[in-house]
Amino acid sequence: MEPRYTPTAITLHWLIALGITGAFGLGVYMHELPLSPTKLQLYSWHKWAGVTLFLLILFRLGWRLTHPVPTLPGTMSPALRLAAGAAHWVLYALMLAIPLSGWLMSSAKGFQTVWFGLVPLPDLLAKDAALGDTLKDVHEALNFTLLGLVVLHTAAALKHHFIDRDSVLTRMLPRFRKS
């Protein structure tokens, strides 16, 4: 049997993928809205999602560092393997940097982040409108970099499955029946 990712790693991968898709879509949609109660509500939800994802990603990173991952197929060239490994670490870095930049942006803009309206996160930066605008650009640039990498990641997974016909995609898919 082909080596697979652990069920925990698989669950975290797809849960975070779903969460990022939602938070990204929400972010793109909400920031153009005129000020309204709905806009404020969506911003809060986006920030709560960001904090939740940050914690999930920390846990996932801890799991990744303490659990071996299945090796890549020997048919891949060393250069491609190196590229695949690097791309994954950049993905992890972005997944941590994006919520952090959002948190810092909120602080700089003078809006504290209060997780689920209950747990206040400390403001790491004092209010500074110019810095807030810069961090907004940073948050946006990081997100579109992530989007580019996710497209690449998905394209690579599909190529492995449909062209190379190896188990790189399936070993990250949840298994619904015992075999």
Partner 1 sequence: MTHTALTRSTLAAALALGLAGPAQAIEYGTLDTTASKVGFRYTQMGVTLDGQFKQFSAQLRFDPARPEAASTTFEVPLAGIDTGSPEGDDEVKAKTWFDTANHPVARFVSSAVKPLGGNRFEVTGELSIKGKTRPVSFPVTYTPGAPTATFEGALPLRRGDFAIGEGDWASFDIVANNVVVVFHLIAKPLAQ
Binder of partner 1 out of 6, 21, 41, 170 (CB under 8 A): 41
Pair of tokens at residue 155: 């394209």
Q: How far is the CB of 31 from partner 1 (least distance, A)?
A: 11
According to the binding rule CB under 8 A, does residue 117 interact with partner 1?
Answer: yes
Contact 81, 122 (CB under 8 A): no
Within positions 73 to 112, which residues make up the interface with partner 1, using CB under 8 A?
109-112
Q: Does 113 bind partner 1 (CB under 8 A)?
A: yes
Per-position DSSP letters for 113-176, written without gaps between them:
-EETTTEEPP-SS---HHHHHHHHHHHHHHHHHHHHHHHHHHHHHHHHHHTS--STTGGGS---
DSSP reduced 3-state for 46 = helix
Nearest approach in angstroms of CB 42 to partner 1 is 10
- To partner 1, the closest distance from the beta carbon of 15 in angstroms equals 24
Quick one: which of 37, 68, 74, 122 contacts partner 1 (CB under 8 A)? 37
Distance CA 128, CA 105 (A): 9
The single residue among 69, 91, 114, 157 that binds partner 1, judged by CB under 8 A, is 114
Whichever of 106 and 143 has its CB closer to partner 1, that residue is: 106
Q: Is 36 in the site for partner 1 (CB under 8 A)?
A: yes
Q: Is 118 in the site for partner 1 (CB under 8 A)?
A: yes
Question: In Å, how far are 35, 46, 128 from 115, measured between CA atoms?
Answer: 21, 10, 22
Please provide the distance, in angstroms rounded to a whole number, between the alpha carbons at the two ends of the chain. Answer: 10
Nearer to partner 1, 109 or 153 (CB): 109
